Amino acid sequence: MIDKVTSQANISSMLQTLRAYQSEAAGGMDTPSADKAKSTPQTGFADMIRQTIENVNEKQQNAQALSSAYERGEPVPLTDVVLAMQKSSLSFEATLQVRNKVLKAYEDILNMPV
């Protein structure tokens, strides 16, 4: 079994598959070259988390504003209110699940024997 996993052909095949998935996830664009990487500022994990939380907060505020406007009798379609609330709920749940996974990984790392 280990021979199958570590054979050079299987490793090459797996790398090729991963690169194809990476290219597909990037929208078919090639990976950035070294010149492009130097010119664009690198965002860290903390920046990505901050942006995600701000995005979730924005969606929640938007849903609350639409809901309040609908309750006041303003001409806001009910479908827009429901969609905004569902988007807000889904983004919050996704963020919560990511947080739980990160905390679980952190706890696993802390509990590793040295």
Do 68 and 85 sit in the same domain of this protein?
yes
Task: State phi, psi for 2 to the nearest 5 degrees.
Answer: -65, -35
Q: Which domain holds residue 2?
A: 1-38
pLDDT tens for 52-110 read 999 999 999 999 999 999 999 999 999 999 999 999 999 999 999 999 999 999 999 99
Note the pTM of the prediction, 2 decimals.
Answer: 0.58
pLDDT, tens digit (0-9, with 9 covering 90-100), for 70-79 = 999 999 999 9
**Integer Cα distance of 14 and 81 in angstroms:** 45
Q: Is 28 left (phi over 0), alpha (psi -120 to 50) or beta?
A: left
Residue of 107, 108, 105, 113 whose CA lies nearest to 45: 105
Query: Distance between CA atoms of 114 and 105, rounded to whole angstroms?
Result: 16
Are 69 and 28 part of one and the same domain?
Answer: no
Task: Indicate whether 54 and 105 sit together in one domain.
Answer: yes
Whether 8 and 21 map to the same domain: the answer is yes
